[in-house]
Structure 1
Amino acid sequence: MPTAYPHPQKHLGHAVNYLTGNHEYDIPKETVDGEIAQLRARLESKPSFNPGLTFDPEKHLIKDPSAKVLTLDDLKIKKTRVAPVCNFATTYQFPLLTQEAVDMILWEALRPEIVEKYGRLPNLAKSATRLDFHIGGHCSRWAPFTQALWNSPELREILERFTKVKMKPLFSAGHFNFSLAEKNATEPPSEELLRKYREQSNGDEVPSSLGMHYDSSTFALVIMAELDENTIGGETGIVTGDNKFVRVPDPKVGSATLIQGMVLKHVATKPVSNSNRVTAVAGFCVAGPEKLDNSLLTSVKPSILPRQNYNEFYNDWAQFRLTNLAEHILHYRDQLKNVEQFDQKDFIAHCQEMESYLHKCWDEMEEHYNPPYPPKEFRITYDEL
């Protein structure tokens, strides 16, 4: 097949050497042996630490959280890049995980072998340093506690109270965004930090561990896994329909926010203060054989995110999409058995929908089409979509 950019180029937003692991984005040894090792040692030194801990929803989930919910209408978003699956936009922070659960998912991500294989520096951040990095793709293979959390029916029940649609986790669900504090750095006076924070009114220019973007998953669950006391900044930032930049307020360790990230332009902001800020992020989509998910590759394929392992990522993607399509075809076939009058137009429309879904399984792959990143839709207002 013809390809627009057979060799991804940095100036187009593409990671290089994505087929062989993007090792030029490896986390520096200074960070691995310093701040990461210290954070891991702090977790392991806790009296309650248990490397064999298993996930228990009764013990580790806060099951009756309440939070303010905002709809797309509330945010004045009338036009979207793809059709939303519901009117839900986002929640304010709500308590979700106990401290023990937070410590465990963080520790599973910070083990040396995981950091080496799945940890990479960002290529799409603002004002990133050696202390800003991503770790992801490890959960389904090497993090049993975290994987059990993402696949927990009890977690989905909590999230579905907000969205009012059936949900399930995406393939390879779960990654971590890290912005760590610099040791022995001189901190400006708090008044100066607050002034700097208030001046950050343009979401495209706010320092971030992941710049302004739309998600390639329908929903994103963002859990605060590490946040220093007295941190200034570090919230999830959202652009509203009238082009205002707002932040989801009052993040706390163990709390979470849920967003329909496929249609909500947002950014993972870095703290203004010299503070640790770590989030665990899991992608979800609509569930049920009667519906096909609207997942994309745009912002998560290996040439865009250096943390993605090429072979694991695409095998997981193919299994996920083909399984969804197979279940949907079987569901639709069973429905047809019970119709009294066969409707050709309806059948054609349904086949076209399934054909479009299969097409979206490959049309954003690097081998076929790998345009400059971010795409135009990430840089324009909602009204211009």
Structure 2
Amino acid sequence: MLTSTLVKNIEAGNIHRKVTNEVYDGGIVESFKVSSLEGIIDTSNIAFEPEKHLTYYASPEGRGKFESTRRLTMKELGLEHPHQISDIGVTDPFPLFTDEAIRIMRQEILNKELFMKYARFNNSSTTGQDCILRGYAKNGDQIDAPFTYQAWTHPKSVELLNKMAGVDLVTAMDYEIAHVNIGVKDPKEANQEIIRQSRQKALKGDSNGDDIPAIVGWHRDAYPFVCVLMLSDTTNMIGGETSLRMGGKNAGKVSVVPGPKRGYATILQGGLIEHIAPSPVGVSERITMVTSYRAKDPLKKDISQLGTVKPEVNFGSRYNDFYPQWIDYRSDVMQKRLEHLKQNCKKNGRFDKEFCNQFLKDIEEYARSTRESMQVSEQEWRDAAKNTTPTAKL
């Protein structure tokens, strides 16, 4: 039921879903063992260095593994689409950041001051025990996680990700840099046999994926491309892979991309591919860091929409921080497209009316989708109303 209190809570930054001190002190610290296993280091003055923190440059072996990574095309997945911006659909996990880089990123996001400011219980979890951090790396002019922000925006990092994606990309907007999904398994509630059985069905091709317990349910991403980075030790992890719904002659079947190891990443054209992150077995945590991208070329198709990330749907999005960035990015793209129209309205010295009409229709559609993406359906309001109080514990 939609209430004025719910609306106020959402507009105030989803404060009704903030993680409590009790959860952080009793769950986060214990589960992730920040002090005992990783040690405390001062990350405030550590600068990102590609030769030291990108595996491609830090290790000849890492470079070799990167270069030999399998990339599946949209055609191979049976998912060719007129709106795709690259032939690449998904990659196998590839080495991206070194152990030291991952350690620094983990300490930045698990810093209590930052965590308590940005962490929210995750509304899309099918376990009800997970949380999310969004829009924390750079919030307006404030950079709260400097190393993480540098790591994802450094030209050397961008170059490697573009190579994997098969197209030049830019981050969708600052809010979508390095958002974090934290999954915690409650041993008292976990049904490992059911999880293992359903996962094996998917691996054998005997399931359409509806029976896979997951940290994040079946979905398409809000933006054309995503890069998913693993921040957890997966040595004893069973599962953690990404499952994809295929098309074409394999429609109804599930394809599984191996789960990445700590420091490894996967590139996915997630705006067009329905996928899921199954709940892992054998570990107490699964922390992934996701950065979302759109085409660098403003004239390329941009299918971005806010179905899974707007504040009324995703509790990690803060109303007064998120929406202004959305308007800024979309306005910037429209401005660049209008400039292109202005410079190309004549062909061989003659006004090209047909070109201009079609181009303006495309801009009109882009403006319409920008507005409609911010609308909230009755079902979305109902779903938001189901989660009016924070989870008691992880």
Q: In proportion to residue count, which structure has more helix?
A: 2
Superposed displacement of residue 56, structure 1: 1.6
Distance 2:36 2:147 in 1: 15
Distance 1:318 1:116 in 2: 27
Does structure 2 retain, via aligned residues, the 8 Å contact 1:222–1:282? Answer: yes
- Which residue matches 1:100? 100
Does structure 2 retain, via aligned residues, the 8 Å contact 1:287–1:293? Answer: no
Distance 2:79 2:4 in 1: 33
Superposed displacement of residue 256, structure 1: 0.5
Describe how 1:13-92 pairs up with structure 2 within 5 A: 17-38=9-30, 39=32, 41-42=34-35, 45-46=38-39, 50-63=43-56, 64=63, 65-66=66-67, 67-78=69-80, 83-92=83-92
Q: Does 1:211 align with 2:217?
A: yes
Identity of aligned pairs, percent?
Answer: 28
The DSSP-based 3-state class of the residue aligned with 1:302 is coil
Could you say what the CA RMSD is over the residues aligned between the two structures, in angstroms? Answer: 3.0
Which runs of no fewer than 5 residues in structure 2 stay unpaired? 57-62, 382-394
Residue 164 of structure 1: which of 158, 163, 166 is its match? 166
Describe how 1:321-336 pairs up with structure 2 within 5 A: 321-336=330-345
Give 1:138's aligned amino acid.
Answer: Y
Describe how 1:252-267 pairs up with structure 2 within 5 A: 252-267=261-276
Give 2:53's aligned amino acid.
Answer: H
State how many pairs are aligned.
Answer: 358
Q: Does 1:135 align with 2:149?
A: no
Superposed displacement of residue 230, structure 1: 1.0
Q: Does 1:150 align with 2:160?
A: no
Partner deviation per Cα, 1:3-24 (whole Å, 9 max, x = no partner): xx976999xxxx9932122233
The DSSP-based 3-state class of the residue aligned with 2:331 is helix
Distance 1:282 1:104 in 2: 17
Describe how 1:336-347 pairs up with structure 2 within 5 A: 336=345, 339-347=348-356
Aligned pair in 2 of structure 1 residues 9, 238: CA closer, same or farther (>3 Å)? farther
Does structure 2 retain, via aligned residues, the 8 Å contact 1:202–1:245? Answer: yes
Partner deviation per Cα, 1:275-324 (whole Å, 9 max, x = no partner): 32110000000012444633111111001101111000001111111122
Distance 1:331 1:299 in 2: 31
Describe how 1:274-353 pairs up with structure 2 within 5 A: 274-291=283-300, 293-336=302-345, 339-353=348-362
Aligned pair in 2 of structure 1 residues 42, 269: CA closer, same or farther (>3 Å)? farther
- Which residue matches 1:178? 182
Aligned pair in 2 of structure 1 residues 7, 212: CA closer, same or farther (>3 Å)? farther
Distance 1:196 1:55 in 2: 41
Partner deviation per Cα, 1:192-229 (whole Å, 9 max, x = no partner): 87546424644333222211100011001000011342
Does structure 1 retain, via aligned residues, the 8 Å contact 2:345–2:353? Answer: no
Does structure 1 retain, via aligned residues, the 8 Å contact 2:208–2:252? Answer: no
The DSSP-based 3-state class of the residue aligned with 2:371 is coil
Give 1:42's aligned amino acid.
Answer: S
Q: Give the TM-score of the pair, scaled to structure 2.
A: 0.81
Distance 1:297 1:147 in 2: 23
- Which residue matches 2:387? none
Distance 1:222 1:325 in 2: 28
Does structure 1 retain, via aligned residues, the 8 Å contact 2:213–2:278? Answer: yes
Distance 1:140 1:310 in 2: 16
Superposed displacement of residue 329, structure 1: 2.1
The DSSP-based 3-state class of the residue aligned with 2:24 is helix
Distance 1:303 1:266 in 2: 22
Give 1:220's aligned amino acid.
Answer: V
- Which residue matches 1:272? 281
